Amino acid sequence: MVDAIWPLLRWMLFRFDAETAHNLTFGPISAAPDLMARVLTPLRGRNPAQPTEVAGLTFRGPVGLAAGLDKNGVALPVWDALGFGFIEVGTVTAHPQPGNPKPRLFRLAPERALINRLGFNNQGSEALATRLRRRRERGRWPAIPVGVNVGKSKITPIEEATDDYVTSVTRLRGLADYFTVNVSSPNTPGLRDLQSQEHLERLLAPVVEAADGTPVFLKLAPDLEAQDLAGAAGLAEAAGVAGLIATNTTVQRDMLPSDPGEQGGLSGRPLYALARAKIEDLLRDVGTSLPVIGVGGVETAAHVASLLDAGCAAVQLYSSLIFEGPGLPARIHRQLRARR
Ligand SMILES: Cc1cc2nc3c(=O)[nH]c(=O)nc-3n(C[C@H](O)[C@H](O)[C@H](O)COP(=O)(O)O)c2cc1C
């Protein structure tokens, strides 16, 4: 049913620029997420997801929502209703911040891709903690795990990055099912420098300590060379990180037929091959013992099956949801079940 109405809805939404379309969708969703979830669940169709264990967590299925779509955690029951196996909200930062000037989100429809330079526009980790606490207290926590992706505030100097991450994790401790340390978004000046050995050594152990037993994942960029991936994976393991998420968006453009000339992170179909190559580097060449959640250009059950076969513990997606619509996660889980 959701699939039947999607072409019309998509046609209407794609008449607006990408951020306006996002806001038009998020308005009703965030105003009444529990009601929306009740409406969407019967429209979604069967969701025969197979429970997937990752770092001690049980995901309802292997396909989760990637960070960045629900930055403020306003629509948790909706992602559950659409059939995702787990949800990652954020990125949140210690300080609320407006993000970069608009326009900052671009849709490349023929390429099935997005470019964003949002710059972590979010209400801050305090507001998210309040929202999540209220949901837990009211007994309206989704039936699937909810991770919180944490980043550095723009105003915080790079030398004080660890405090910024630790502040957010401390506020959210006991409210998130897992944390993700995001050092890989391209739109906060200096953030990706935190992927260097020197910075990771200072960052990861204090965050793991602040998380106090909640699993911590480290999210990496697809623009890292194999040796930097290996370094980051080794430091993550040593610091007690529970898993890796690979990858974030790319600053490369050579996978596009022509460069649209917009700065930011590229995601969606053109990212798949690069993300997959980096995932294989981690799993095969680096041989990390940490579970890897694969993300980047995932659009189909075949992509998911292929990443799981390559050794990924689970998979996330974001961009393909914008192009394929809300029926996608349950459809992929149905198709995965039919294959296995
Ligand atoms: C508009 C947009 C905003 C994003 N914001 C974040 C973010 O705040 N934090 C983060 O870790 N990743 C963010 N991402 C990256 C996604 O989580 C994901 O790693 C990336 O888009 C690749 O997956 P995809 O090709 O399925 O979209 C964002 C992606 C998009 C398209």
Binding pocket residue ranges, ligand 1, CB within 6 Å: 66-68, 71, 90-91, 105, 114, 116, 118, 120, 149, 182, 185, 219, 248-249, 267-268, 271, 295-298, 317-320
> What pLDDT does residue 340 have?
65
Instruction: Specify the ligand 1 atom closest to the Cα of 114.
Output: 31
DSSP annotation string for 105-160: EEEEGGGTEEEE-----B--HHHHHHHHHHHHHTT---SS-EEEEE---TTS-GGG
Instruction: With H, G, I as helix, E, B as strand and everything else as coil, classify residue 226.
Output: helix
* CA-closest residue to ligand 1 atom 18: 248
Closest CA to 183 of 257, 247, 272, 263: 247
Instruction: With H, G, I as helix, E, B as strand and everything else as coil, classify residue 197.
Output: helix
* CA-closest residue to ligand 1 atom 13: 68
C-alpha distances (whole Å) from 42 to each of 47, 301, 328 are: 11, 22, 15
Q: Give the CA angle between residues 242, 248, 254 to the nearest 5°.
A: 145
Please list the rounded mean pLDDT of every run of 10 residues in the chain (340 residues).
Answer: 86 95 92 92 85 97 98 97 97 97 96 97 98 96 97 95 97 97 86 80 96 97 92 95 97 95 97 98 91 98 97 98 95 89
Which residues, listed in sequence order, are joined to residue 243 by a DSSP beta bridge? 217
Instruction: Specify the ligand 1 atom closest to the Cα of 275.
Output: 22
CA 223 – ligand 1 centroid, Å: 14
CA 100 – ligand 1 centroid, Å: 16
Q: Which amino acid is at 318?
A: Y
With the most atoms of ligand 1 within 8 angstroms of its CB, the residue from 250, 267, 279, 315 to mutate is: 267
DSSP annotation string for 148-178: EEE---TTS-GGGHHHHHHHHHHHHTTT-SE
- 5-43 pLDDT, tens digit per residue, is 899 999 999 999 999 999 999 998 999 999 999 988 888
- 176-232 pLDDT, tens digit per residue, is 999 999 988 888 888 787 767 888 989 999 999 999 999 999 999 999 999 899 999
Q: Give the CA angle between residues 67, 214, 78 to the nearest 5°.
A: 40
Ordered structural domains, the chain, with CATH: 2-339 (3.20.20.70)
Instruction: For residue 134, count CB atoms less than 10 angstroms from its CB and return exposed for 0-12, middle for 13-18, buried for 19 or more.
Output: exposed
DSSP annotation string for 279-331: HHIIIIII--SS-EEEESS--SHHHHHHHHHTT-SEEEESHHHHHH-TTHHHH
CA 115 – ligand 1 centroid, Å: 10
Which residues, listed in sequence order, are joined to residue 265 by a DSSP beta bridge? 116
| Active site residues per annotation | 185
